[in-house]
Chain A
Amino acid sequence: MSEAPNNQVLQIWQSQPVEGMKMSTEAIRLRAGKFERKISRWYLRETIAALVVIVAFSYFFAKTPQIPLRITWGLFIAGTIWVLVQLVRKGKPKTIPADMGRSNCLEFFRSELERQRDLIKDVWTWYLAPLVPGYVALNVSFAYPHPIGWVRWVLLDAFFVAVFVGTWKLNQRAARCLQRTIDELNAMEPSH
């Protein structure tokens, strides 16, 4: 194979025009601070959203005299709190890690993919499942005292089951795709 075209490509690559961007350390610190603020805003947004839901459910909880409905709203409140805690633990945006230079590209890329895989594989257990008891209780406590026709309930339940199962299946598929890439990376390690 002739090296000449390759050498020319290398030359074209290395001599391409660049803007010559420079950042002062003050500007760097400012941008690093922006990352921290972005995360604080994320926490605030998620907490406010959860609080709005909790306040609404608490209102229904306080207003209803019926025990089954109270249990329903109580379960929804507990589920929402659980989701919020898990969201903060698992879903928060990542800051730029300070130890990036310690990991080679293969290790770093694999850990990024593993983090994403675990997040989406388990999403069912921490994002959807905590709200299921409340939904089941709503079915039981609302359908029986206020029958609006079993067909409507069946259709509504079928819709929610389809959404839950569909979300779960999509996530499992995405997790499998990530796992395939992780396996490819594992095969490239020096030990293999």
Chain B
Amino acid sequence: MQESSISIDYLDVRAIEAIGVSEGGTIPAAASAQDELYHEAAATYGVALERLARAYEADPDLRRDLLQDIHVALWRSFQGFEGRCSLRTWIYRVAHNVGASHVVRQRRTRSEALVGLEELDRLPDANGREEMADRGHALDRLLGLIQRLKPLDRHVILSYLEGLDAASIGEITGLSPGNVATKIHRIKTVLARWFQQGGEAHE
């Protein structure tokens, strides 16, 4: 990424002042802890965040912007991280919240209506199963499916695809355990209907 190579000489002065960097250039302990948390988060969850950004934005340039916004939001959020929830829950909450804001903003310019999980089955695309032997094609189809979902359903399916359990999904999304269970059941049904195991014949 080009921006990551920007020299400290070109830093915006107000941005530095905003986080309390002193004139001598030393970063206070709080800011340093914030940076450390951010580095830990980026190292552990950077790849997952990229996948997540891909599910929220199809356009590559806008996606790069969104991913950078997620990183900035994460870094900013660590000013207030008190360890009341796990680092993973915090990171996914921030990332999904930035993603949801992005979806809400983009709805003003994009006309295609978003649907809920329960409506996905009624869409015409659900009639044809994807052969998963072609992984690239299957991934495109999966992304297309996710990008049609309303934000909260998108949070749930993404968390499911990242391998999170129902309790963690509930903690991240704020949904009741019953709601999470229902949505996961629907996700499994939808995925089973949209995709089939490689090598099986089409229905």
Residues of A within 8 A of B (CB): 1-6, 8-10, 12-14, 16, 18-37, 96-109, 112-113, 116, 185, 188-190, 192
The list of the 6 closest CB pairs from A to B, nearest first, reads A33-B15, A104-B174, A33-B12, A106-B174, A190-B176, A101-B90
B193 CB to closest chain A CB (Å) equals 9
Cβ–Cβ contact A188 & B80, under 8 A: no
Residues of A within 8 A of B73 (CB): 96, 100
* Given contact pairs A30-B15, A31-B68, A104 touches B171 in the complex (Cβ within 8 A): yes
Q: List 5 A-B contacts (CB under 8 A).
A: A13-B162, A16-B139, A25-B35, A108-B93, A190-B175
Residues of B within 8 A of A5 (CB): 132, 191-192, 195-197
Among B54, B72, B80, B132, which residue has the most Cβ atoms of chain A within 10 A?
Answer: B72
Cβ–Cβ contact B72 & A188, under 8 A: no
Residues of A within 8 A of B155 (CB): 105
- Residues of B26-82 contacting chain A, CB below 8 A: 35, 38-39, 42, 46-47, 50-51, 54, 64, 67-69, 71-73, 75-77, 79-81
Interface size for B (C-beta < 8 A) is: 76
Cβ–Cβ contact B196 & A100, under 8 A: no
Q: How many contacts between A and B, using CB within 8 angstroms?
A: 202
* Measured CA separation A105–B198 after assembly (Å): 35
A186 CB to closest chain B CB (Å) equals 11
A83 CB to closest chain B CB (Å) equals 21
* Measured CA separation A4–B199 after assembly (Å): 12
Cβ–Cβ contact B163 & A28, under 8 A: no
A22 CB to closest chain B CB (Å) equals 6
* Measured CA separation A1–B187 after assembly (Å): 12
Residues of A within 8 A of B98 (CB): 96, 100
Residues of B within 8 A of A36 (CB): 12, 14-15, 18
- Residues of B164-191 contacting chain A, CB below 8 A: 171-177, 179, 188-189, 191
Cβ–Cβ contact B64 & A109, under 8 A: no
Partner of B12, one of A14, A37, A104: A37
Partner of B6, one of A3, A18, A27, A190: A27
Partner of A26, one of B8, B79, B85, B197: B8
* Measured CA separation A16–B18 after assembly (Å): 37
Cβ–Cβ contact B14 & A102, under 8 A: no
* Measured CA separation A19–B128 after assembly (Å): 31
